[in-house]
Each structure stands twice: as structure tokens, then as C-alpha cells.
Chains A and B, each alone.
Chain A
Amino acid sequence: MALSDDDKLEMQRRMLRIRAFDERASKMVKRGHIPGTVHTSIGQEAQVVGATMALSDNDYMTGNHRSHGHPIGKGSPLGPLMAELQGKSGGVCKGKGGSLHLADFAVGSLGESGIVGSSIPIAMGAALSSKVLGRDTVALAFFGDGAANQGVLYESMNMSGVWNLPVIFLCENNQYALSTPAHTVTSGVIAERAAGFGIPGVRVEDGQDVLAVYEAVSTAVARARAGEGPTLIEVVTYRYNEHSEGLRLGTDYRPADEREEWLKKDPLVLFREHLIANGHTAEEMDALEADVLAEVDAAVEFSENSPWPDASVGFDDLYTDSEYAA
């Protein structure tokens, strides 16, 4: 659980990747270079990376519509992710999933979901495989404060509790379900709901502190790997951008000064300061940031150079025996 200096640098690198990737994706949506829309994780990088860095390479993960940070945090290469956002043949899902359905099984990313809450039992199922087959892998389900009011979460917490499954339910509480403030639709405290299932419920109040998130998730992972069952973790965080890029709502549902307050707790700035206070130089940090921007440039170049998928690809992959596809 103790983080090496290299691990911490990797954390900052992955958070920077999410920020740079999503800022670029946002621009590309607005210029029409990405079809449809995207939901960015800008502002929530610590919550994502603190969790994914607590997992091992073989561990599984499912996510939701705020979908790019999860695979990036799990180590998925940026080029095929960007190509997927553009619908290119080099996309991680051959251009058939798009932003909402990123998945990279090579890094344990079992898929993001456009239906909130829908991927939660999928992570439970991955944990069931581990249990039945005697593997030591764990699974983590990311979902938001909105999905915390879906019934399937409670079916999953109950079933994985009674079966003692190695799964972590990670609620990314960014405080708004699209425009709806969580406190207006959520009775009580999400983390405290775990008590009803006899499993630990943990609330990370400062979700902008990547080390705090890492600590909480690492504890849950260790429990799960030791056969002690599931944990619910609620991480309080904030998204800096709109629910989706290009969305313009007629009403201002967030208090005017709220975003300003959260911008003062930018996870990338906070962790940069932490690293500098612990022996790294500002020049090193600048170089890391420049390096990540170059990675994103390369990812966009990979995507731009990737051809559109052949029309026939639209009829592949429905079944494993493709003769039944048409």
C-alpha cells in the first residue's frame, strides 16, 4: 500500500492525461471533429486515478457515461481511445462503441455504460468469476451520485455482501445528476447505506486529494483480496465542465461561486504542489505536463490517420459465429 515516488509520479501523469485528453476532446466536440458529445472527467481526476492506481493490472473495472478517465486511469493507451471517440477503425472498440461505451479488456476495462447504474452488476459478475475460479482479482464499479438511486446498486450490494464477493462500489459523488443537485433527490448519506447490508461504507470527503482516495480504495482492495467481501466508497468531488460538452442549459443550477471554490482545489495543482514539497522541482513537473500534452497530440494524430471503418464492420461482432449476424 505504501506508494513509491515513481508511483506518485505515475499518478500525476495519469491525472494529467485525463485532463489533457478531455480538454482536447471538448474542443474537438465543439469544432465538430468528434461526432455526438462527450462527458469529461475534468475536476474529478483525483477521484478516478486514486481508485484505478489502487487496482492491479489484472483487476476489473466498469464505468459510466463520464467514461474517458476510467480507462485512461487504468492504463489504456490514448490513441485507440481517441480514435474511438472519433469513430475510426483504429478505435479501441473498432468505432462501434464511441465515447459512452469505451472498453479495453486488455487493461481490465469491461466497459463504460450509457445507462447509469447498469454496469454495476457487471463488476459484481467479474468478482463472482474470481470467487468461483479461485482467482485473486477484484472488480470495481464506478458510478455517480445519480446512479446511487438505482435499485440495481442495492441488489448488487446485497448479493455481493451475502456471497462475500471481491468487489468495490465506488460512487463518484460530483453532486449533480446532470442538473439535479444530489441532496434534492438523495435521502441520507450514500456511504451510510452500506450499513444496511452489513458491509463497510466509507466517505472520502476530500475527493480532490488523490492520496486520500488511493488510501480508501487500497483498504477496500486489500479487504476484497483477503476474501472479506465488498466495500462501498463515496468520494465527494466536482466536475468543472458542463454535464456534457456543448450542452447549454437555460438555468444556472450551480451557485455562482461554487465552481470558483472547487477550482481552488484543482487536484492537479494540489498534487503538483505535494510532489514539489517532496523533492521534485517545478521544472520536472513542467516537463511532465509537456510530455503528457505531446502524448495527447500523438493520440490525436493516431486517430486522424486512422481510416473510417469499412461499412461491413457494422455487421460484425453481433454473435461469435458471424454467419448468424445478417
Chain B
Amino acid sequence: MSVMSFLGAIGAAQKEAMDADERVIIIGEDVEANVYGTTGGGKTRQETGDFVQMYGRNRIRNTPISEEGIVGAAAGAAMTGLRPIVDLSYSSFLYMAMDQLVNQVAKNRYMFGGQASMPVVFRSAMFYGLNTGAHHSDRPYPMFMNVPGLKIMVPSTPSDAKGLLRTAIDMDDPVLTFEACILWALKEEVDDNEFWVPFGVARTHREGTDVTIVAISSSVPEAIAAAAELEAEGISAEVIDPRTLVPLDKDAILESVAKTGRLVVVEPAHRTCGAAGEISAIVSEGVFDALTAPIVRVTAPDMQIPFSPALEKQMYPTKDDITAAVRRVTSFTSRNAALANAHN
């Protein structure tokens, strides 16, 4: 074990995969320069240099600023024997490559009757909360949940970032990873050995009995902090991080809500057609009879992201938003319950 940052954990997973399989390559803008520290040797950097020195320019490829071409090239390479990791930098750059992601990457295996496999990972960072303005602050993972054929991971801890990314690289299907930059500096003890976190298995960060809080990406630490505060008020909150949105661990969420009877879903993406809305629908379809209060979503509003720190801060769910939502559902009394109480 050693203490790793979120970014360091991503770098470690990439290095493991590069060492394990020579078909793994990294392509993207500025990957040679190791801008964010994910293509360097970590602690061994001074001895072994960065990825370019370790693996050479055949496997570490700087690209022109041509997202559509990059994504298409990675898809074609994945269909013919390579296992590319594509660093697309900012998640809003994915829009530049929408045709390739939606029409080629997601559809080729299905359209061609299973002839193609598509072992490729598209990494992108969500720079929200860092005063980068509307073009760099997107959290676009929900719109890709609407594209069958893609898998989506949204890690919230260094350890999960390392284990999920390694699974993604070793997987034969296309994976989009969305990394919240406000989590980059998080540090924790991470296993130095190779390990793989499975897709479709949620992580329960905290067990509880009164309410289930399903939290996504940077909302996870906010939800954990909210649960600690609520405990002092006598409210026992269970905090679940799905970790991957496609596939989604529906069973873990349904079982938890069946136990607690209440659900708050928290995410930094827009409200309409978000992951929170989808999870809410799954729960209401699956365990409606267990619910004792309405499901409440805590999300960003359907609004663009302003630049000014004074304006941006209010856009994403905070610990206080979550505690307020939990108090709302735990204090809810239905008309039926009120009537029943009146007769008793």
C-alpha cells in the first residue's frame, strides 16, 4: 500500500496496463508531456522517466487537435488488435467526436453481428467547480448513458479510480471514464499490486437504516460528510456509490431502498434526463411498495455554468443540500399514514 492521489492512481493503472500488455497504447493531445501526471512514472519517475522514455513514441502518441479523427482511429485500432487508452482531456471535447463515439464505437459490434470487439478506453476530465467557464465545466456522462454499447465509469476515490480503470483497459468493450477534477487531489492508501474493481458492482461507503443516498462522482464525498452530520441528529443514512453507471448495480440500490424506504439521489450533472432521474425511475418501478417518502433528486440545475466563483459555487450539490433533502424525506408523512395515525 502507498498513499496515492486520484491522479496518481490513474497513472499507476495506466502503467500497470502498459507493462502487462504491449497492445495497450496511449493516444491523445499532450500525452507525451505528462501534463496532469498520469503518464509519468510516479514515485519512480526520477529513475525511470516518464511514459515516453519507458515505452517510446510508438505506444505513447501525441495527437493533433482532431477529436473526431482520434476517436475514429482508436476505434479502428481497437477493431484490429490494439487496446488504446485515449486521453480526450476535457469531457466537453467528446462532443467534437460525437459521430465516432455514437455511430462507430457504440454500434460497430452490434451492427456487424458481433464480428468486432472494441477494447478502447476514452478518458476525460470534468473540470467543473474550478472556474473554467461554460466550455470546460460539463458533466456529460448522462447523455452517453443514453447510447447503448458504451460502458461508463465515474470513480470517486483513488482506489476505485485505479481498480476500475484497470478493468476498463482489460475489457473488450468501449469504456468512457469521467473523472471529476475536484477529486484529483484526494489521497488515500492504495494497493500497489495489480487489482481490478468489477463493473456493475456498487460500493457501500456507509451503512444506514433510515435513508439511502445514492451519490455519483464528486457528490460521493459530499454525501459521506452529510451522513456523518445526520448521524449526530439521529438519522442513519446509507451511502452508495454506483461507481459504474453502465452497467448499473440496480440490485444494490433496490435492496438498500427496500431496507430504508427512502431515497435521495445526488449528482453534479444537469437535472433533466440525468443519472439521478434514471435511478429514481428504477427504484420507483422496482420497490414502490417499500417507499415511505417521495424520491428526491439533488442535482445541478438545467443551467449553464457561469465563470465567477460567486456564481458557480451554487450550481453543484453540497453537503448542506444533501442534509436538507434527507431531512425532507425523513420528516415526510404521507396523507395515508396521517389518516392511519388519526384512526389509531
Residue of A nearest to B69 (CB): A155
The answer to whether A105 and B112 touch across the interface, beta carbons within 8 angstroms, is yes
- Are the CB atoms of A159 and B79 closer together than 8 Å? no
A319 and B151 contact, CB distance less than 8 A: yes
Chain A contributes a number of interface residues (CB within 8 A of B) equal to 50
Query: Quick one: which of A101, A133, A156 contacts B72, CB cutoff 8 A?
Result: A156
B197 at the interface (CB under 8 A from A): no
User: What residue of chain A has the Cβ atom nearest to residue B174's Cβ?
Assistant: A319
Contact of A125 with B77 in the complex, beta carbons under 8 Å = yes
Q: A93-B115, A133-B82, A317-B109 are in contact. Are A158 and B64 (CB under 8 A)?
A: yes
Is the CB of A162 closer than 8 A to any CB of chain B? yes
Query: When the two chains form their complex, are residues B111 and A320 in contact, meaning their CB atoms are under 8 A apart?
Result: no
A125 touching B73, Cβ below 8 Å: yes
Docked-complex contact A101 and B80, CB < 8 angstroms: no
In the complex, the answer to whether B113 meets A96 with C-beta atoms within 8 Å is: yes
Determine the chain B residues whose CB is within 8 A of the CB of A317 once the complex forms.
109-110, 113-114
Are A126 and B76 touching (Cβ within 8 A)?
yes
Question: Do A60 and B80 touch across chains, with their CB atoms under 8 A apart?
Answer: yes
CA distance A215 to B116 in the complex (A): 31
Establish whether residues B173 and A129, one from each chain, have CB atoms under 8 Å apart when the complex forms: no
A123 to chain B, nearest CB (A): 6
Give A119 to B23 CA distance when docked, in angstroms.
22
How many chain B residues touch A (CB < 8 A): the figure is 47
In the complex, A114 Cα to B112 Cα: how many Å? Answer: 13
Q: Nearest CB to that of A157 among chain B residues?
A: B69
Within 8 A of B (CB), among A45-97: 60, 62, 91-97
Contacting residues, chain A, for B151 (C-beta < 8 A): 319, 324
A320 to B79 Cα, complex, angstroms: 13
Closest to A92 in B: B113
Closest chain B residue to A125, Cβ basis = B76
A129 to B82, CA, bound (A): 6
Q: Is A120 an interface residue, CB under 8 A from the partner?
A: yes
A110 in the interface (beta carbon within 8 A) = yes
Q: Is A205 an interface residue (CB 8 A)?
A: no
A43 within 8 A of B: no
Taking a contact as CB atoms closer than 8 A, the residue among B23, B66, B78, B114 that contacts A94 in the complex is B114
CA distance A110 to B77 in the complex (A): 11
Task: Say whether A232 faces chain B, with CB atoms less than 8 Å apart.
Answer: no
Q: Is B292 an interface residue (CB 8 A)?
A: no
Q: Does A132 contact B (CB under 8 A)?
A: yes
A133 touches B112 (CB 8 A): no
**Bound CA span A35–B6, Å:** 52
A132 to B76, CA, bound (A): 13
Contact A110 B149 (CB under 8 A): no
Closest chain-B Cβ to A45's Cβ sits at a distance in Å of 24
The 10 closest A-B pairs by CB, nearest first: A125-B76, A121-B72, A155-B69, A94-B113, A93-B113, A155-B66, A122-B76, A317-B114, A125-B77, A129-B80
Residues of A near any B CB (own CB < 8 A) = 60, 62, 91-97, 101, 103-105, 110-111, 113-115, 118-133, 139, 151-152, 155-156, 158-159, 162-163, 316-321, 324
8 A-B pairs in the complex with CB atoms less than 8 angstroms apart: A101-B112, A122-B76, A125-B76, A125-B82, A126-B77, A156-B72, A159-B69, A319-B109
